Structure 1
Amino acid sequence: MTQQNSDALAADAPTLSPARVRFALLALALGGFGIGATEFVAMGLLPNLAADLIPGVYASDPAAANAQAGWLISAYALGVVVGAPTIAAAAARWPRKKLLLVLLTAFTLGTLASALLPTFGWVLAARFVAALPHGAYFGIASLVAASLMGPGKRARGVALVLSGLTISNVIGVPAITWLGQLAGWRIAYIAVTAIFALTFLAVLLSVPFQPGDKTATMRNELKAFGRAQVWFALGIGAIGFGGLFAVYSYVAPLVTEVTGLGASAVPLVLIVIGLGMTIGNFAGGWAADKSVRRSMFGFYAVMLVALLGLALTAQNVVGLLVFVFLVGGAASALSPTIQTRLMDVARDSQSIAAALNHSALNIGNALGALLGGLAIAAGFGYVAPVWIGLGLTALGLMIAVLSFSWDGLRRRRGEVLGYGTELIQTVTVR
Structure 2
Amino acid sequence: MPLPVLSLMLVVFGFTTGEFVIAGILPDVAADLSVSLPAAGLLVTAYALGMIVGGPVVTVLTARLARKPLVVGLIAVSLAGNLGSAVAPNYPVLLVARFVAGLVVATFFAVAIATAVSMAPADKQASTVAKVALGMNLGIILGTPIGTFIGHDFGWRATFAAVAALVGVALLLVLRFVPAQPAAATGPVLGELRVLARRDVQLAIGLTAVGNVGVVTVFSFITPLLTDVSGFGAGAVPVLLLVYGAGAVVGNFLGGWLADKALMPSLAGLLAALAGTLALCWLVGDLQAPAAVLTFVIGVLAFAIIPGMQTRVLAAAGSAPTLAVAVNAAGFQVAAAFAGWLGGQVIDSGLGLRSIYLVGALLTAAGLAVAGYLLRRDCVPADHS
TM range (shorter): over 0.9
* Residues 40-62 of structure 1: CA deviation (Å, up to 9, x unaligned): 11111111100111x2x5xxxxx
Q: Within 5 Å, which residues of 2 pair with 1:126-145? A: 126-145=97-116
Separation (CA, whole Å) in 1 of partners of 2:373 and 2:127: 26
* Residues 75-113 of structure 1: CA deviation (Å, up to 9, x unaligned): 111111000111111122223233221111111111101
The Cα of 1:373 is off from its aligned counterpart by 1.4
Q: Which amino acid aligns with 2:275?
A: L
Change (3 A) 1:281 1:183: same
Segment drifting more, 290-299 vs 26-35: 290-299
Change (3 A) 1:334 1:122: same
Aligned to 1:284: 255
Q: Which amino acid aligns with 1:46?
A: L
Aligned to 1:37: 17
Aligned to 1:107: 78
Kept in 1: contact 2:264–2:374 (CA 8 A): no
Kept in 1: contact 2:265–2:375 (CA 8 A): no
The total of aligned residue pairs comes to 385
1:219 corresponds to which of 190, 197, 200: 190
1:24 aligned onto 2:4:
yes
The Cα of 1:145 is off from its aligned counterpart by 3.5
Aligned to 2:222: 251
Aligned to 1:51: 31
The Cα of 1:294 is off from its aligned counterpart by 3.7
Aligned to 1:421: none
* Residues 188-214 of structure 1: CA deviation (Å, up to 9, x unaligned): 100000111111122223333443323
Kept in 1: contact 2:252–2:304 (CA 8 A): yes
Kept in 1: contact 2:79–2:168 (CA 8 A): yes
Aligned to 1:78: 49
1:203 aligned onto 2:203:
no
Segment drifting more, 150-159 vs 363-372: 150-159
Aligned to 1:402: 373
Q: Within 5 Å, which residues of 2 pair with 1:184-333? A: 184-333=155-304
Segment drifting more, 373-382 vs 136-145: 136-145
Separation (CA, whole Å) in 2 of partners of 1:303 and 1:156: 27
Separation (CA, whole Å) in 2 of partners of 1:154 and 1:379: 50
Change (3 A) 1:153 1:387: farther
Aligned to 1:10: none
Aligned to 1:424: none
Change (3 A) 1:72 1:332: same
Q: Secondary structure at the match of 1:139?
A: helix
1:376 aligned onto 2:356:
no
Separation (CA, whole Å) in 2 of partners of 1:97 and 1:403: 38
- In the alignment, structure 2 segments of 5+ residues that lack a partner are none
2:88 corresponds to which of 97, 104, 117: 117
The Cα of 1:326 is off from its aligned counterpart by 1.4
Q: Which amino acid aligns with 1:259?
A: S
Kept in 2: contact 1:143–1:354 (CA 8 A): no
- What is the TM-score of this pair, normalised by structure 1? 0.85
Kept in 2: contact 1:89–1:351 (CA 8 A): no
Q: Secondary structure at the match of 1:45?
A: helix
Separation (CA, whole Å) in 2 of partners of 1:155 and 1:357: 19
Change (3 A) 1:406 1:151: farther
Segment drifting more, 42-51 vs 160-169: 160-169
Change (3 A) 1:209 1:223: same
Q: Which amino acid aligns with 2:183?
A: G
- What is the TM-score of this pair, normalised by structure 2? 0.94
Change (3 A) 1:194 1:166: same
Q: Which amino acid aligns with 1:241?
A: N
Kept in 2: contact 1:163–1:281 (CA 8 A): no
1:357 corresponds to which of 328, 332, 336: 328
Separation (CA, whole Å) in 2 of partners of 1:221 and 1:295: 30
- In the alignment, structure 1 segments of 5+ residues that lack a partner are 1-18, 58-64, 416-430
2:154 corresponds to which of 183, 186, 199: 183
Separation (CA, whole Å) in 2 of partners of 1:96 and 1:50: 39
Change (3 A) 1:381 1:148: farther
